Amino acid sequence: MNNNLQIPADSVGLVKPQSIRFEEPLVLACGKVLAEYDLVYETYGTLNAKADNAVLVCHALSADHHAAGYHSESDKKPGWWDICIGPGKAVDTDRFFVVSSSNIGHCSGSTGPRSINPDTGKAYGPDFPMVTVPDWVKCQKRLAEKLGIIQWAAVAGGSLGAMQAMQWAIDFPESIRHALIIASAPKLSAQNIAFNAVARQAIMSDPDFHGGRYYDFDVVPASGLKIARMLGHITYLSDDSMGDKFGRELKGEQLNYDYRVEFEVESYLRYQGEAFVNHFDANTYLLMTKALDYFDPASQEGGNLSAAFKKTSAKYFLASFTTDWRFSPERSREIVKALTRAKKDVSYLEFESNHGHDAFLAPISSYLDAFAAYMRHIKVSGE
């Protein structure tokens, strides 16, 4: 299979999503209850006899369970974290059994706003309950139990995914040996919340939104979602990387002096926005931004993040990137400080990169090498 021309030798190869239905009701942070739900997930590598080589990979705002490998030989792109997951890669599938699930509320198979609400026989839409990082961790815990995993060798993620790794360490201290927290923050800043608020405003004020019930009208709030994604995209890239990539290059030969696309960067953003609308659900976008806004593990300890980490027993690896202005290195250092104050075992690295927040998805060799070095020190039985 790996000999296929399109699938590189260090890929996990062709992969297939699986699905599990959970029928035990799930009480969410918001107080509502999901009577039943599905989780879609993928696994890469093999669980060892003692089930101590399992790594949970958590996705961020717009990704899903498809973290590595290809769904078909004609796939143009592998999973979202393929640079890190595979034989010989940082999360080495020759050693580790990797699990990657889509979170509830998402639009890629796990139960979400597009799923049928058993109470009404129609899509949930805006009635899908608000979900939070702790809710997702609870779901992942149940999935782990179904897969026979009592303790993760590691839980890893970038951005919103890293927030899940943090939450795992706090909520289930005995069930995680290492937390890998990449390009993250202990909570959103006012500016982060503000960007999310604008994105939501764009979606909710699109007349095709219909209060979230657009499925009933056979439309999607495309222009609102497009604006939200364009805006998000600006915050994922650095000023430098946009400058390097596009500068002030014109799309055509000269200035139009009209409102058609004029600069390359406009063209790029519109393309990104339009491509996104074709595969992503607006209600999910709303839910994800709210989950980000709500994340604040220190809040249960009166704002003391160090206290929140006190009872954790994981070891920590943190990484940040110099030009990430969404979750800047300073935000990672806040987590590092809280962990060291709580006397935890922490490794922290700051990488030079002009990729902005998206650096955690980029093939930056210093970052991948450090990630791999950390993972090599994680002991698994039978080695």
Whether residue 184 lies in the annotated active site: no
Taking CB under 8 A as the rule, does residue 320 contact its own copies?
no
C-alpha 16/C-alpha 39 separation (Å) is 14
Tell me, yes or no, if 355 is annotated catalytic: no
Nearer to its own copies, 137 or 230 (CB): 230
CB closer to its own copies, 197 vs 275 = 197
- Produce one character per residue of 286-306: b if its CB has 16 or more CB atoms within 10 Å, e if not: bbbbbbbbbbbbbeeeeeebb
Active-site choice (52, 135, 324, 358): 324
Residues 12, 61, 188, 220: which binds its own copies (CB under 8 A)? Answer: 188
Nearer to its own copies, 215 or 246 (CB): 246
Q: Report the nearest approach of its own copies to the CB of residue 66 (Å).
A: 28
Per CB under 8 A, does 302 bind its own copies? Answer: no
- From 115, 159, 175, 223, active-site residue: 159
CB of 79 to its own copies, least distance (A): 28
49 binds its own copies (CB under 8 A): no
Among 133, 170, 185, 265, binds its own copies (CB under 8 A): 265
Q: Tell me how far, at minimum, the Cβ of 288 lies from its own copies, in Å.
A: 13
CB-wise, 47 or 234, nearer to its own copies?
234
Residue window 76-105: x/- pattern of binding to its own copies, with contact defined by CB under 8 A: ------------------------------
Is 257 a residue that touches its own copies (CB under 8 A)?
Answer: yes
Q: Can you name the residues that pair with 312 across neighbouring β-strands? A: none
Query: Which residues between 106 and 165 bind its own copies (CB under 8 A)?
Result: 129-130
Burial class, 1, CB count within 10 angstroms (exposed 0-12 / middle 13-18 / buried 19+): exposed
258 touching its own copies, by CB under 8 A? yes
Query: For its own copies, which is the closer residue by CB, 150 or 194?
Result: 194
Question: Catalytic site residue 299?
Answer: no
Among 65, 178, 200, 357, binds its own copies (CB under 8 A): 200
Q: Measured from the CB of residue 134, what is the shortest distance to its own copies in angstroms? A: 13
> Helix/strand/coil (H, E, C) string of the chain?
CCCCCCCCCCCCCECCCEEEEECCCEECCCCCEECCEEEEEEEECCCCCCCCCEEEEECCCCCCCCCCCECCCCCCCCCCCCCCEECCCCEECCCCEEEEECCCCCCCCCCCCCCEECCCCEECHHHCCCCCHHHHHHHHHHHHHHCCCCCECEEEEECHHHHHHHHHHHHCHHHECEEEEECCCCCCCHHHHHHHHHHHHHHHCCHHHHHHCHHHHCCCCHHHHHHHHHHHHHHHCCHHHHHHHCCCCECCCCCCCCCCCCEHHHHHHHHHHHHHHCCCCHHHHHHHHHHHHHCCHHHHHCCCHHHHHCCCCCEEEEEEECCCCCCCHHHHHHHHHHHHHCCCCEEEEEECCCCHHHHHHCCCHHHHHHHHHHHHCCCCCCC
CB 240 within 8 A of CB 323: yes
Interacting residue with its own copies among 19, 205, 300, 313 (CB under 8 A): 205
For the bound state, the minimum distance from the C-beta of residue 212 to its own copies, rounded and expressed in Å, comes to 9
Taking the least distance from each CB to its own copies, the nearer of 271 and 379 is 271
The strand pairing partners of 27, in sequence order, are 33
Least distance (Å) from its own copies to the CB of residue 240? 9
Two tokens, residue 188: 């959103």
Residues 224-253 that bind its own copies (CB under 8 A): 224, 226-227, 230-231, 233-234, 237, 239, 242-243, 245-248
Please identify every residue annotated as catalytic.
159, 324, 357
Which residues bind to its own copies, rule: CB under 8 A?
Answer: 29-31, 129-130, 187-191, 193-195, 197-198, 200-202, 204-207, 223-224, 226-227, 230-231, 233-234, 237, 239, 242-243, 245-248, 255, 257-259, 262-266, 269-270, 273, 286, 290, 293-294, 296, 325
